Amino acid sequence: MKRFGFTALILFIASYASAYPTVGDKVTWNGTVNMVDGTKEEIKITKEVLAFNKDTRKWTVKYEADIGKDRTSKISEVEDLYSPDRYKEILASCVEKGGILEDITTSVGMYKTCKLTSIGSDGSIVEKWWGNLPFGVVSRKTQDASSQIAKRPDLNSILTGL
């Protein structure tokens, strides 16, 4: 009986992982940001799916970011959210698009990811590890091109870890 319960739990977890996006999905990333003055600030970013409107086919997503003592919070509607199909597309074309396939281990598990690097219009270097989870990003690292530190935290681009 114990073996059946364990097997059922594993199957439930596996089915949940492929069932996103769905209302209630919530992902939190934690890390640090290097400030211009040489200090480090703790960063915590959370995204959560609050609702889905069947008529407009839009998702309501809550975004919260804490950097040190500063907090930003917003709720927005989006037409498209990251999905298991999108993950499969990214993995299949990862190397072709200049990415690197990497296994990333976090405090909540191990993920097979595609690490993609891009350069922002301001010259910043952004590395993202895309995995199979709601919102897609397992880890993200942003560096200012000239000083290799964050001049001012951009809450949508400076986060590391899950």
Quick: pLDDT tens for 17-65. Answer: 557 898 998 888 888 887 777 788 888 899 999 999 999 999 999 999 9
Quote the pLDDT of residue 56.
96
Q: Are residues 52 and 59 in contact, defined by beta-carbon separation less than 8 angstroms?
A: yes
What Rg do the C-alpha atoms of the chain give, in angstroms? 17
Structure-token pair, residue 77: 């509607």
Q: Which alpha helices (DSSP H) does 20-132 contain, by range? A: 84-93
| pLDDT tens per residue, range 102-157 | 998 888 888 899 999 998 888 888 889 999 989 999 888 888 766 555 433 332 32
* Type of residue found at 1: M
Closest C-alpha among 113, 101, 107 to residue 138: 113
The domain ranges of the chain are 21-143
pLDDT in tens, 54-98: 999 999 999 999 988 999 999 999 999 999 999 999 999 999 999
Q: Which 3 state secondary structure label does DSSP give 6?
A: helix
Q: pTM for the full model?
A: 0.76
| Residues 50, 73 contacting (CB under 8 angstroms) | no
Give the residue, 4 or 62, on which the prediction is more confident: 62
* CA dist., res. 58 & res. 31, Å (int): 30
Tell me the C-alpha distance between 93 and 130, whole Å: 12
